Amino acid sequence: MSPLLQVEELAVAGVGEIVRPTSLDLSAGRAFTILGETGSGKTLLAQAIMGTLPAGLRASGRIRIHGPAVQDWPLAQRRALWGREVAMLPQEPWLALDPTMRVLPQVAEGHRHVRGRSSGQARAAARDDLLALGLEAAAGRLPGQLSGGMAQRVAFAAARAGGAGLLIADEPTKGLDADRRDEVAALLRREVEAGGGLLTITHDIQVARLLGGEVAIMHEGRLVERGPARELLSRPASDYARRLLAADPTAWPSATPAPVGDEVLRVEDLAIARGGRLLFEGLGFTAAAGEVIGVTGPSGCGKSTLGDLCLGLLAPTRGVVQRNPALARLRYQKLYQDPPAAFPPHATLGQSVNDVVARHRLDPALVDTLLRRLRLDPALLARHPRSVSGGELQRLAILRVLLLAPVFLFADEPTSRLDTLTQQETIGLLTELARERGCALLLVSHDRTLVDRVADRRIGIRPESPG
Amino acid sequence: MSTVTLSAVDTRPAGRRWSSRRLWGAGLLLLLVGFALLVPWLWGADPARQDLGRILSPPGWSEPLGTDHLGRSLLARLAAALRLSLGLALLGVLSAALPGLALGVLAGWRGGWTDRLLVMLADTCLALPGLLLVLLLVAIAPGSFWALYVGIALVLWIEYFRVVRATTAGLVTSPQIQASRLLGFGLAYLFRRHLWPELAPLVLTLAAFGAANAVLAIAALGFVSVGLRPPTAELGLMMTELLPYYHEAPWAILQPIAALFLLVLSLHLLAGREAS
């Protein structure tokens, strides 16, 4: 087997060295997965191989794609390889597809212009591709009418249309729920079994496990450990790899249910329709102080809507949401998926927190107590939301709602934008504090494993039949 | 590493960084305002006092900018015209921005019927050509300062309304406002902390452009003799009056033109933001 990709001592430098010299080989029919957190440099490595580094960054070292060393080629010459020799599966394909072009011509373009087939042949080939991916019904749709999983499959078909032997997939499962993620991983695996070379960049340990082949773990710009997937993922040798793998929800210990207090919320026969579509009906449950309730379901099933109904931010189509009348409305609070979006962007975090203290005449010492409890540096309060990391900001958001001594907290995918290690820490603190302070926690997540590990019980929302 | 450098830049609030072109604009505007306000105080000549013995005299020690065809001091007249243009523009911008801002926030915040009615009102005003509306009002009350002012304000409020409404409507459903409402904050706080920081740069940019447009509109109306009446010192009117003497006294007609050019330029520099 000839190597499809040979990378020798490839490094990326900007202000400092961001990716340390790294070497890897990839042959046809093999998968190589780089696993790492945000900021580890894994995407830059892929961009350096592709030749699409952002301005201001320089790559050094040697890159051979199917034989020739390409690292010094001018951009136009490297671009000629795209689609023919090496193809890139984009992050968030619904943003990468042309929103005004239907699916079939979008896939046919690759066959026609990259492979130089006639228009009729190209359409026929594109139709075969879509059929093989179970997308024949979607041929006439626009990207906006596709679900996330379908859009990823269309992007896959379009990327593959040029006939490239090497496929680079950068976070191919970002933003997909567990079922769609497994689907995409199976699709990529089939590509490998059919004799293609696959280089995958991901933060998702499950994806690395499903793809098999060789796995490398990247941390602070270097590959800290590499080896066959099965071995490395079950018996990591390095300290960082051990911590990273232990942070995966599948490795978490199950929570021990704590004794619960008074009922703070009762929901009976709840139904909600949005945009003329019934999301769910006949839902009923109660929440007691100190209880952790998980809500799971595929994207778009109304998980977040359920939380907003509980807080009274939306009116139900049918049914009753009853909050404990003895408790102030202010003690029903919410945490958001995207932490920076939940703070006023032009005020410092300290101002935002002090505003809450001033508004409700709270004891300012409470802030210091909570800062220590949440292991937050008080210096963060002088910064603006956009210049604080996601994990710290989410903990500050927890601090802000805890000031009001909540009895019910709706956490809407609070860690889906965070890295694995940060997610473990954040979820740990959140459930710990909820149990400690007698607050009912309604934890919405697309990750069923995570919910099963930390929640006392789980509410599953079934997807409505499509259409 | 790149995130570190980015965050170091981000800690500075966005509104504090003034580009060099905005500084130029502000400096130029300050000079013009200073000229308009200081001349009557330091020079003290009456812009309407005629001296037929000294018509169209060139700039010199006794008259730094010369005199016009009726022997009036051009220095005094130019300063008076600038005061008038700036004052009228400021008044027009304020009376357009305030209702535009208030109605825009109301429409964006409330949505539904309030929104639809206000949008209809704005569209109705917009359907009338702006300058025509001003001409109509001026025809009803010729030569009146108030007709001119009301006409300009009526045309200008709509753009504030539209921009503010669109921004507000986007923000109302945002997590940041929802979070603050859940935390028990009232409308005044939401406006101060969430809406105004987003709206301020837009409204202030529009205000600078609006002021430039108002200055031009007043001058255009003066030039075609439907705006303010002589002997008021007004830039457009001065151009019309001095036009017949452009051959004998080119420096005279150039003065109101240069003043108008610099005033509009300063406001545009102030309004424009450098592409990042």
The pLDDT tens digits of the residues spanning A9-56 come to 898 887 777 888 888 888 888 899 999 887 788 888 888 888 888 878
pLDDT digits (tens, 9 = 90+) for A61-100: 889 888 888 888 888 888 888 888 888 887 777 778 888 8
Distance, in angstroms, between A346 CA and closest chain B CA? 7
Distances in Å between the alpha carbon of B244 and those of A187, A285, B76, B234, B253?
A: 83, 88, 21, 17, 9
Residues A273 and A319 sit within 8 Å (Cβ to Cβ): no
Contact at CB, B183 and A15, closer than 8 angstroms: no
Contact at CB, A404 and B14, closer than 8 angstroms: no
Nearest to B184 among A313, A346, A360 (CB): A360
Q: Which of A333, A381, A387 to mutate to test the interface with B (most CBs of B within 10 A)?
A: A387
Which residues of B sit within 8 Å Cβ distance of A? Answer: 1-3, 5-8, 10-11, 13-15, 174-176, 178-180, 182-185, 189, 193-194, 197-198
- Ranges of each domain in chain A: 3-251, 263-460
User: Given pLDDT bands bounded at 50, 70 and 90, which one contains residue A256?
Assistant: confident
Nearest to A404 among B2, B11, B183 (CB): B183
Chain B CB within 8 Å of residue A333 CB: yes
pLDDT digits (tens, 9 = 90+) for A398-453: 999 999 999 999 999 888 878 888 888 899 999 989 988 889 999 998 888 889 88
Both tokens assigned to A196: 């293609």
Residue A342: closest C-alpha in chain B? B176
Distance from C-alpha of B45 to C-alpha of B43, rounded to nearest angstrom: 6
Contact at CB, A404 and B184, closer than 8 angstroms: yes
Residue A356: closest C-alpha in chain B? B183
According to the model, what pLDDT value does residue B143 have?
A: 66
Helix axes B74-110, B250-271, angle to 10 degrees: 30
According to the model, what pLDDT value does residue A463 have?
A: 61
* Architecture of the structural domain at B19-45+66-271: Orthogonal Bundle (1.10)
Residues B148 and B218 sit within 8 Å (Cβ to Cβ): yes
Tokens 């993922």 correspond to what residue? Answer: A233
Chain B CB within 8 Å of residue A346 CB: yes
Contact at CB, B179 and A334, closer than 8 angstroms: yes
Contact at CB, A18 and B175, closer than 8 angstroms: no
Between residues A462 and A209, the one the model is more confident about:
A209
SS3 content of chain A, % helix, strand, coil (to 5): 40, 25, 35
- Ranges of each domain in chain B: 19-45+66-271
Distance from C-alpha of B105 to C-alpha of B121, rounded to nearest angstrom: 15
Both tokens assigned to A371: 């800062």
Interface ipTM: 0.72
Distances in Å between the alpha carbon of A82 and those of A4, A28, A192?
A: 14, 17, 19
Q: Which CATH superfamily is domain A263-460 in?
A: P-loop containing nucleotide triphosphate hydrolases (3.40.50.300)
* CB < 8 Å to A400, chain B: 183
Return averaged pLDDT per consecutive 10 residues of chain B, 276 residues in all: 36 56 87 83 74 75 75 82 86 87 90 89 81 76 72 80 90 89 89 89 86 82 75 80 82 83 86 57
According to the model, what pLDDT value does residue A334 have?
A: 93
Nearest to B184 among A311, A359, A387 (CB): A359
Mean pLDDT of chain A: 87
Residue B185: closest C-alpha in chain A? A359
pLDDT digits (tens, 9 = 90+) for A420-430: 888 888 999 99
Q: What single DSSP character describes residue A23? A: E
How is A337-403 classified by DSSP, letter by letter?
SSGGGGS-TTS-HHHHHHHHHHHTT--THHHHHHHHHTT--GGGGGS-GGGS-HHHHHHHHHHHHHT
Distances in Å between the alpha carbon of A31 and those of A88, A216, B90?
A: 15, 11, 68
According to the model, what pLDDT value does residue B217 have?
A: 81
* CB < 8 Å to B198, chain A: 346
According to the model, what pLDDT value does residue A464 have?
A: 52
Distance from C-alpha of B95 to C-alpha of B66, rounded to nearest angstrom: 36
CATH number of A3-251, picked from 3.40.50.300, 3.30.365.10, 3.20.20.480, 3.10.20.30: 3.40.50.300
Single out the residue of B204, B175, B181 nearest to residue B272, CA to CA.
B204
- φ and ψ at residue A150, rounded to 5 degrees: -65, -40
According to the model, what pLDDT value does residue A441 have?
A: 93
The answer to whether the Cα torsion of A248, A249, A253, A256 is positive or negative is positive
Distance, in angstroms, between A422 CA and closest chain B CA? 17
* CB < 8 Å to B183, chain A: 330, 333, 356, 359, 400-401, 404
